[in-house]
Amino acid sequence: MQKLLIKGNKELKGNIYISGSKNATLPILASTILASEVRLSNVPFVKDIFTMIELLKFIGIKVKIQSNKNILEIKNEKKKINTLAPYKLVKTMRAGILVLGPLLTKFKKAKVSLPGGCAIGTRPVDLHLFALKKLGAKIKIKDGYIIAEARKGLMGAKIKFPSISVGATENALLAAFGAKGKTTLSNCAIEPEIKDLILFLKKLGCKIKISGRKITIFGNSLHQKKISHKIIFDRIEAGTYLIAGVLIGKKIIIKEIDPKIFRHEIDILKKMGAKIFKTRSSITILKTKSLKKMNISTKPYPGFPTDLQAQLMVLMTQTKGLSKIKENIFENRFMHVPELKRMGANIKIKNKTAYILGPSKLTGAEVMATDLRASVSLVLAGLIADNRTIVNRIYHLDRGYENLVRKLKNCEAEIKRV
């Protein structure tokens, strides 16, 4: 099994080019079920994207990969396609559930495997099904599969989500795309990745309006011409390298981003004492001498993202005083904590809150990755630790970070994959 070896305490210096967003690409790929011909650029070639491509191919959509250019050419020509998403593909990547809305709205039926639990929490799909039922779907759960049907097609409806979910908002949007009449979704997630999906759906001919957390979709307005779309940058990848820069950067420049989209995170780091300078499409991070403690709570966008919580926690091990992180999105997202403690961090958890007392000198250890963001937090810890850190189970990292080793090596980090 592959692992990462990191020799810590080496200052980082250089440019980092941010990839396209995995979380924007996944729903856009699912929505190609509704399109005829699509060219996607700035696609991050990470494991989850390849799993979604496999799922699309299984369904009957042609996908051509131009790997050296991060481009996908997608053709959806078959009249009869497979409306099944099998367990073997959905279990490894929960976003497989996103094909449910588009298959159902276009073909009036779909059978999609239930994704099951995952390391960071139970992650149910009740909100996805709630929205589809409101649009007129009949849904049964049988043998681990969601079996959905809408014999006369889906009908526009008014849907208020009882709580905010990124995936359920996306699935509802994609289903409403092909429904008859107007759909109003309220209490929606409004992550930048959802806005990118909306931009894509508009190019496909769909009329969509967004105002605060309310999205109105006028369904059934598909046109069949070829469209092109450039995927938005990955704000979580950018945030991860931003934190790396604050932790141990001499001078790091993060490029091909829009700092406005994650200004909240940048402001938090600045309040902690980081030296950060923005331009329209880049951020420069200079060496930070001393960091102040901070309290944050994870929230849906524009709040602080749960996907950056583990990385920020590593930074908090280096601040002076007691910092706090309250995790409001997933119930089991502190699995990096025991590993960070083994490296010397002083962290206690009570209910949903982690208390981090810093600064602590971290020392290298052999650690185990448990999920995507937890793994990258261990890499960050390894970069600042004394001696050598070995990160095991790095297949989690491959799910979401494109060329992580190469990007860090370009900044003079001593890291290698063995």
Q: Which residues are catalytic?
A: 118
Q: Which of residues 278-307 bind ligand UD1 (CB under 6 A)?
A: 305-307
Task: Note whether 161 binds ligand UD1 by CB under 6 A.
Answer: no
Q: In whole angstroms, how close is the CB of 354 to ligand UD1 at the nearest point?
A: 17
Distance (Å, whole) CA 46 – CA 38? 20
- Shortest distance, CB of residue 60 to ligand UD1, whole angstroms? 23
Q: Which of 36/297 has CB closer to ligand UD1? A: 297
Q: Is 96 in the site for ligand UD1 (CB under 6 A)?
A: no
Cβ(226)–Cβ(250) below 8 Å: no
What's CA 239's distance to the chain center, in Å? 12
Q: Is 279 helix (H, G, I), strand (E, B) or coil?
A: coil
Q: What does the buried/exposed string (b/e) look like for 346-379 if buried means 16 or more CB atoms within 10 Å of the residue's CB?
A: ebeeeebebebbbbbebebbebbbbbbbbbbbbb
Cβ closest to ligand UD1, residue 128 vs residue 407: 128
Pick from 12, 20, 23, 220 the residue near ligand UD1 by CB under 6 A.
23
Q: Which of 16, 59, 95, 385 binds ligand UD1 (CB under 6 A)?
A: 95
CB of 251: closest distance to ligand UD1 in angstroms? 30
Find the part of the chain contacting ligand UD1 (CB under 6 A) among 60-68, 121-129, 267-275, 314-322. Answer: 121-129
Q: Residue 155 carries which DSSP code?
A: B
Count of residues that interact with ligand UD1, criterion CB under 6 A = 21
CB of 211 to ligand UD1, least distance (A): 20
Q: Which of 94, 139, 144 is nearest to 117 (CA)?
A: 94
Nearest distance from C-beta of residue 23 to ligand UD1, angstroms: 3
Alpha-helix residue ranges (DSSP H) falling in 249-363: 263-271, 309-316, 336-342
CB contact at 8 A, 303 and 190 = no
Tell me which long-range contacts 399-403 makes (C-beta under 8 A, separation of at least 24).
Answer: 399/22, 399/46, 399/47, 399/48, 399/93, 399/372, 400/22, 400/46, 400/47, 400/48, 400/236, 400/237, 400/372, 401/46, 401/237, 401/240, 401/372, 401/376, 402/19, 402/44, 402/45, 402/46, 402/237, 403/19
**128 is an interface residue for ligand UD1 by CB under 6 A:** yes
Vertex 33: Cα angle to 29 and 39 (nearest 5): 50
* Residue 330 lies near ligand UD1 (rule: CB under 6 A): yes
123 binds ligand UD1 (CB under 6 A): yes
Beta carbon nearer to ligand UD1, 121 or 338: 121
Among positions 125, 176, 291, 337, the unique one binding ligand UD1 when judged by CB under 6 A: 125
Query: What residues form DSSP beta bridges with 357?
Result: 322, 346
Residue among 25 and 323 whose Cβ is closer to ligand UD1:
25
Contact residue for ligand UD1 among 168, 176, 208, 274 (CB under 6 A):
168
Of residues 61 through 80, those in contact with ligand UD1 by CB under 6 A are none
Question: Among the candidate windows 123-131, 138-146, 359-367, 404-412, which touches ligand UD1 by CB under 6 A?
Answer: 123-131
* Tokens, residue 116: 């099951």
Residue in 52, 124, 118, 116 with CA at minimum distance from that of residue 89: 52
Min separation Cβ 413 and ligand UD1, Å? 25
Residue whose CB is nearest to ligand UD1 in the complex, by number: 167
Q: Which residues form the interface with ligand UD1 (CB under 6 A)?
A: 23, 26, 94-95, 121, 123-128, 165-168, 189, 305-307, 329-330
